[in-house]
Chains A and B, each alone.
Chain A
Amino acid sequence: MKDIEKITEQLKREIHEKAILYISEITAKYPGLSKKETDAIIKKLEADISIAKEGDVLTLLTLKSSTEQDIYSHIIDMENIEMLPDRIKIGNTLYRGFIVVANPQKISFGVFHQLLKSKNNMIIAMHVSPESSINMVHHLRSELGTVEAKLNYFALQGKIVGKEVDGLRDREKFLKDKIEKFSNGMLKAFKLHFTFAVEETNADDLDFTTNKAVAFLKKIGFVVKMAINYQKDVLKTLVPSGANFLRRRPIIVTNNFMSDSFPFVK
């Protein structure tokens, strides 16, 4: 028994030096060993050090590579995807997506810088697509027609002053000004899709950060809607690929709005 232990210790040193050992080498070196004893030695070697037995060869698995592999496999195991109506969980990260359905007329420059500065852990995607000025002019002319018809109706009724008429006259002036600017190329329109997602590690933080971000957006005049049941599409839209997987009506903005929402500032 003592001899087996002594032989095992010698073989351990040998494997560590050479990283490989043939079973035939053991029998050649220690001719007095029976098959049972040789098996016992190999079993002991396998229990004490990391070795792989393949046929007649014992290969030393370096301690480092096997443990690295173990750690790596544990980390990889954490990657799993769970879809829920109001969030998506990937590994240990939760995402909750929401979209903007209406925008304010005007925003202050660098507004998204303020939003990002306050550590809201928010991913923002803006899909910007130029809209034809002719389409815009047509759209505004049709709206102007409605306003003028209303004004004519009031004039026939004998109403030429009053709150309602003043409001319509202001709208008429505003629309005429816009039509002129779009026709002259002084204004340009864009179709814009705003998509947001909050990224957090637990549900409480996700709720807190979402509420904080939504409150901020509402304060500056955006109308926000949670993308319930569309979380996967939100995430796909946020990944930089140019594609928009959320089929919804865009918001129409001008170049002035786009300049103020220019996000590449710090």
Chain B
Amino acid sequence: MTKKSEQIIFNIKDKGKGEIDGIWTLTDNSIFAVLEVAPIPFFDLKEEKQNELKKKINEELWMKLDFPIEIVIRPVNCSADKKMAILETVLGYNIENTNKTKLIQYFHSFMNWFKEYAAKNVRDANKYYIVVNYNSPYDAVQKDKSAAVSILRSRINFLIKSLKASGITEIKIMSTFDIEQIYNSFLKFHVYCENKYMFPDDWINLFKKRGENERH
């Protein structure tokens, strides 16, 4: 993410590295953490089970929730084929114009590999995130961050417990790196595969590794 894009789009103050991994601070001094959850295969269940689950969701999650949350559903790899075509055309055009034979050859072999890799690994999916934040009206975050962090942690624990009671089994607290990747995904061309957002440097590294593997 470039500094300019970061300034335009987000209001990040501190990415929460080190001791408090995964807890970010915004410019308004609010702190937040992100959970990733896997959806329940609800429509595969029998009617009885479905009704039971609906009751649990109501009782365990919504009736007990007493702090604000944000739910974000982000489709990944939507229009990936179209994006790939744009990448090949635009990038191909720019590279052809350089008239560097070796670069053009390298680009074509990269593109062939990338298309093959994408056909195998890139699938449409939806990612589900829940954001838990703490925003003190008295700027307590700025004065005593550890107290604010402990409140946020108790909220996270409560939410995990409630979600588990509502039938969601896969819940992951996202690390600082994971959150940064989600942010980058709004700004950079990417594909989502192998359970992560992959950006140009990741593809090129993979391409390079594949070359090394072939040589061995």
Residues of A within 8 A of B (CB): 63-64, 67-68, 70-72, 74-79, 81, 90-93, 109-110, 112-113, 116, 119-130, 188, 190, 199-202, 205, 232, 235-236, 238-244, 255-256, 258-259, 262-266
Contact = CB atoms under 8 A, between A and B. Distances in A.
Contact of B182 (A63, A240, A264): A240
B58 A256 contact: yes
A112 B106 CA distance: 44
Contacts of B133: 241-243
Contact of A236 (B10, B132, B168): B10
Interface in B15-30: 24, 26, 28, 30
Interface string B97-130: 0101011001100100000000000001010110
Q: Size band of the B side of the interface?
A: 35 or more
B75 A123 contact: yes
Contact of A70 (B103, B183, B188): B103
Contacts of B182: 239-240
Interface in B46-63: 50, 54, 57-58, 61-63
Contact of B70 (A72, A113, A127): A127
Contacts of B71: 124-126, 128, 263
B168 A92 contact: no
Given A71-B106, A79-B2, A264-B168, A126 B70 contact: yes
Contacts of B39: 263-266
B189 to A, nearest CB: 5
20 contacts: A63-B102, A71-B200, A71-B204, A72-B200, A72-B204, A75-B200, A78-B189, A79-B187, A81-B8, A90-B187, A110-B42, A128-B70, A130-B65, A130-B67, A201-B83, A236-B11, A240-B34, A241-B26, A255-B63, A266-B43
Nearest to A116: B126
Looking at chain B's contact residues, the main secondary structure is: mixed
Nearest to A202: B82
A67 B102 contact: yes
Given A67-B106, A71-B95, A240-B179, 17 more contacts: A67-B107, A70-B98, A70-B100, A71-B110, A75-B189, A91-B187, A122-B75, A123-B72, A123-B74, A127-B68, A130-B66, A199-B78, A201-B82, A240-B34, A243-B133, A259-B57, A264-B37
B5 interface: yes
A71 B82 contact: no
Nearest to B65: A130
B40 interface: yes
A182 to B, nearest CB: 12
Interface in B126-160: 126, 128-129, 131-133, 135
